[in-house]
Amino acid sequence: MIQKLLEISLVKDSQHSPLYRQLESEIIQLICQGFLKPGQTLPSSRELAQGLQLNRKTVVATYEELNAQGWVETRERSGVYVSGNLPDTTRRTTPNTRPPVRSLQPGYVLITKQASNGPSNADPNIEIVGTGEPTSLYKIDDGFPDPRIAPIEELVREYRRFGKNRFTNKLLMYGPEQGSYRLRAELAKFLNRTRGMQVTDKEILITKGTQMAIYLTAQLLIQPGDIVCVPEPGYRDANQSFELAGASLAFIPVDKEGMNVDMIEQLCKSKKVPRLIYIIPHHHRPTTVMLSAERRMRLMNLAVKYGFALLEDDYDFDYHFTSSPLLPLASMDTGGHIIYVGSFCKSIAPGIRIGFMVAPEVVINEAAAIRKLIDRQGEQLLEEATAELLSNGEISRHIKKSHKIYQERLDNACRLLREHLSPYLTFDKPNGGLAIWAAYRKHISASKVARNAGKLGLKISDGSNYFFQPNAVRPNDFIRIGYSSLDEKEMAGAIDVWKQALSNENRR
């Protein structure tokens, strides 16, 4: 075991992720591949640092992150151990070999089909108010970033620069359906550095937001009657995309450790193997919970055993406040089972429609062919400008600055909710993400409160867009509270109006 750890190779340059994140990813890989067993003792930080020729603080930071995420456990005066709660897996590589390289082919069956036609209903409770709609005094959204602090001036500057240089004519002509080569190359570096991934530009498709990537995945993988597992509560637009492609949805409950993997395993054993699992393991939408390390590992093992695909939606990776963000499942995927989607819509602003799909090259090429039918390509000038902001570090600086602002706003929102609305609702402070998941107390109707609030000048969710399982009985109504787009004064004003609406409802 120690020999396997000492074989770990880390890249010591600024183009890759910090050393402690690389080491974290490598240890997780060894756990998932069965080289490190549950309950097994890990080397001391001093021993591992000496063996890998690292600063001991790097190993200490790695162990702290792994402990926070549930991969290892620290026992006082004893040492660090692989968590005993993890499943024991069969080692998938032969002795004395390095862990396998990532598969260049998908670990699921890929189909080719044309995009289906059908309407898509917008969710009126989370959309940005358009110019043609009456404007409310306050709006508590679904969890959007604040565009007032976005690096828009920097983006416009680069947009203008590319619009005036000698390559302008080329950028205004048709380009690759996969998206700007430079943006894909810079995005690959960014994902490898920040999320422990090992992708190239050929494994990336640029999309207009995460939703397009979800839709393309549905069209690529789903045939009528295929089972698709979705979380409950969950994300309406994803569910509609799967149903539009002909899927039969299997609703999987979400608790404080994420999706119920036991239920997915039961489906597989009953020979109702799903075609696709849609999962949001990092700040699940809407509940904000994170998929536990034990369930992550089991889900990956099930994907390998039964050959289904995992669609990992990592819509707001950047904002995690109690530790470093958890590495995506895609960073551990060596078998080509995961399609990873995300965007800059939550990092910069919803109107900046730059999203991405990461998958084996053959999947990307098929997705690009379908994307061409509905949207020939993205806007090359915007993509080139975004690539420049990635290259010069502007986006990383913005994320760092906004991370501090949003953490302060989360603390402020939780304080105000506890002080003013605790008689009406309950919630747990999330570890990250841009929203708070709260439950109204019994007999409080989310729809009635939303109507009352609207009359007083506050637009909030009516609670109708989180649960989709037919005939399910729930003891409470819920609401997702986006806190990041409101500053301290605005949030105080919104909660004051909300309290009035709740008081009016409570008196009836």
Pair 138, 494: CB distance under 8 Å: yes
**Predicted pLDDT of residue 5:** 79
pLDDT digits (tens, 9 = 90+) for 16-25: 678 888 888 8
* Nearest Cα to Cα of residue 256 among 65, 67, 446, 70: 70
User: What residue spans define the domains of the chain?
Assistant: 2-82, 138-149+396-506, 197-376
Residue 213 is classified by DSSP as H
Among the residue ranges 248-262, 313-327, 426-440, 441-455, the one predicted with the least confidence is: 313-327
Q: Which amino acid is at 473?
A: V
Predicted local confidence at residue 128, as pLDDT: 38
pLDDT above 50: residue 112 = yes
Tokens of 123: 């969710």
For the beta carbon of residue 243, count every other beta carbon within 10 angstroms. Answer: 17
Q: What is the topology classification, in CATH, of domain 197-376?
A: Aspartate Aminotransferase; domain 2 (3.40.640)
Total length of the chain:
508
Following DSSP, what letter does each residue of 355-402 receive, concatenated?
A: EEEE--HHHHHHHHHHHHHH-S---HHHHHHHHHHHHTTHHHHHHHHH
pLDDT band at 15 (very low <50, low <70, confident <90, very high): low
Angle of the 293-306 helix axis to the 19-32 helix axis, nearest 10 = 50
pLDDT of residue 160: 80
pLDDT band at residue 477 under the 50/70/90 scheme: very high
At 199, list the tokens. Answer: 């992708």
Per-residue pLDDT tens digits for 46-80: 888 888 888 999 989 888 888 888 888 888 878 88
**Which residues are 207's β-sheet partners?**
355
Place of tokens 């597992």: 229
- pLDDT exceeds cutoff 60 at 406: yes
Q: What is the pLDDT of residue 121?
A: 41
Res 92 pLDDT > 60: no
Classify domain 2-82 by CATH number. 1.10.10.10
pLDDT tens digits, 348-403:
888 788 999 999 999 999 999 999 888 866 677 888 888 899 899 888 899 999 99
- Report in angstroms the alpha-carbon separations of 85 from 40, 103, 202, 254: 12, 28, 37, 19
Q: Residue type for 36, please?
A: L
What is the domain class of 138-149+396-506 according to CATH? alpha beta
Query: Given the DSSP bridges, would you call strands 79-82 and 309-313 parallel, antiparallel or unpaired?
Result: unpaired
Tokens 């024991």, located at residue: 88
